[in-house]
């Protein structure tokens, strides 16, 4: 039971409920997400190694399902395709704490979908036990191409700003820096055209507050076999929002983030909110 409680606490990243806000009567966004439109939210960052390990821990400790646990392990051999320190990445990237906040890679489309389903079930269980939770039911899933492109646009015109940023570079202390974690064709970078993956909260967020929509790892969408945003070892020209990247199996450059769809608001809180609105209207009269 103690282990179960610990796991539920660890899952604060995935739920609408945190220690400080779960009793609030206000309509709150899920922690770690940004509202895209109406009842649709998206993760601020890519799913991390820590998040995936929490998922595996639940399967092993709570569900006690060794076979399912084994089937959900990332394929760390995907790093064999890289020319830099691949043995280090194979042995430590998913397991070592130094990479806790790096995006999980080496997972398949089916594994990503299973994670979304698990996250949905756990959060809805918690919502059921929390009368003052702002919502009754949610669904986590992979974003559609259209939803992903909307999020990546940062509310900018994609035709004019194909990366969802006003500039692909920024200046700091007299030096120019890359806005995204991908390969740039500058004269001073031609000597080292190989990059590496960054933590999920690295780089500059776009105007929606979303990190690494471009570069870092390419992100799966609901349409199977298609990923978006390019990745750390791809030239920037190939990382534009409208570009699709095809994949057939897990890759070292392929990860994902979830969208959260609210499918049922808490009627008790809605009624209370309506009463407050009516009271304000009467006082104005």
Alpha-carbon distance of 252 to 247, in angstroms, equals 11
Where on the phi/psi map is residue 167: left (φ > 0), alpha (ψ -120 to 50), or beta?
beta
Two tokens at 284? 């104005």
Q: Any idea what DSSP says for residue 39?
A: T
The pLDDT value given to residue 9: 42
The pLDDT value given to residue 46: 98
Sheet holding 244-246, edge to edge: 244-246, 226-228, 218-220, 254-255
In this structure, is residue 34 part of a structural domain?
Answer: no
Alpha-carbon distance of 168 to 11, in angstroms, equals 35
Check if the beta carbon of residue 215 is closer than 8 Å to that of residue 174: no
Alpha-carbon distance of 110 to 68, in angstroms, equals 13
The pLDDT value given to residue 15: 53
Burial status of residue 14 (CB atoms within 10 A of its CB: 0-12, 13-18, 19 or more): buried
In this structure, is residue 214 part of a structural domain?
Answer: yes
Burial status of residue 28 (CB atoms within 10 A of its CB: 0-12, 13-18, 19 or more): middle
Residue 24 has pLDDT above 60, yes or no: no
Check if the beta carbon of residue 142 is closer than 8 Å to that of residue 220: yes
In this structure, is residue 231 part of a structural domain?
Answer: yes
CA-angle at 139, arms to 33 and 251, nearest 5°: 70
How many independent structural domains does the chain possess? 1
Alpha-carbon distance of 89 to 284, in angstroms, equals 63
In this structure, is residue 284 part of a structural domain?
Answer: no
Closest CA to 59 of 45, 47, 73: 73
Phi, psi (rounded to 5 degrees) for 114:
-65, -40
DSSP assignments along 203-233, one per residue:
S---TTS---SSBSSEEE-SSTTEEES--TT
In this structure, is residue 169 part of a structural domain?
Answer: yes
The pLDDT value given to residue 174: 82
In this structure, is residue 213 part of a structural domain?
Answer: yes
Phi, psi (rounded to 5 degrees) for 200:
-65, -25
Check if the beta carbon of residue 214 is closer than 8 Å to that of residue 149: no
Two tokens at 17? 């409920």
In this structure, is residue 137 part of a structural domain?
Answer: yes
Residue 98 has pLDDT above 60, yes or no: yes
Lowest mean pLDDT among 105-114, 118-127, 142-151: 118-127
Residue 100 has pLDDT above 50, yes or no: yes
DSSP assignments along 55-90, one per residue:
HHHIIIIIS--HHHHHHTS--GGGGGG-SSSHHHHH
| pLDDT tens readout for residues 251-285 | 999 999 999 999 887 565 555 444 444 444 454 45
Helix 109-128 / helix 49-57 crossing angle, nearest 10 deg: 70
Residue 209 has pLDDT above 70, yes or no: yes
In this structure, is residue 248 part of a structural domain?
Answer: yes
| pLDDT tens readout for residues 213-234 | 999 999 999 999 999 999 999 9
Lowest mean pLDDT among 118-122, 140-144, 186-190: 186-190
CATH number for the domain harbouring residue 234: 3.90.1580
The pLDDT value given to residue 273: 46
Helix 2-10 / helix 49-57 crossing angle, nearest 10 deg: 150
The parent domain of residue 136 ranges over: 2-8+42-265
């Amino acid at each position: 039971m103690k282990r179960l409680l610990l796991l539920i606490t660890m899952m604060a990243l995935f739920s609408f409920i945190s220690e400080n806000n779960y009793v609030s009567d206000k309509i709150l966004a899920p922690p770690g997400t940004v509202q895209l439109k109406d009842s649709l939210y998206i993760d601020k960052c890519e799913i991390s190694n820590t998040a995936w390990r929490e998922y595996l821990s639940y399967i092993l400790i709570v569900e006690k399902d060794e076979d399912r646990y084994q089937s959900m392990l990332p394929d760390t051999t995907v790093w064999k395709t890289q020319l830099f320190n691949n043995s280090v990445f194979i042995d430590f990237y998913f397991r070592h704490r130094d990479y806790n906040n790096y995006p999980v890679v080496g997972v398949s489309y089916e594994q990503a979908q299973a994670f979304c389903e698990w996250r949905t079930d756990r959060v809805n269980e918690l919502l059921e036990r929390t009368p003052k939770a702002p919502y009754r039911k949610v669904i986590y899933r992979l974003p559609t191409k259209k939803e992903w492109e909307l999020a990546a646009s940062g509310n900018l015109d994609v035709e004019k700003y194909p990366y969802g940023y006003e500039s692909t570079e920024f200046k700091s202390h007299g030096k120019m820096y890359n806005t995204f974690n991908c390969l740039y064709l500058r004269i001073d970078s031609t000597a080292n055209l190989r990059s590496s993956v960054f933590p999920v909260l690295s780089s500059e967020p776009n105007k929606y507050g979303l990190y690494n929509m471009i570069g870092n790892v390419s992100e799966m969408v609901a349409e199977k076999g298609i990923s978006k945003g390019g990745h750390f070892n791809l030239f920037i020209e190939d990382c534009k929002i409208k570009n699709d990247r095809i994949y057939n199996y897990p890759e070292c450059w392929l990860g994902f983030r979830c969208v959260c769809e609210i499918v049922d608001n808490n009627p008790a809180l809605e009624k209370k909110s309506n009463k407050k609105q009516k009271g304000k209207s009467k006082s104005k009269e």
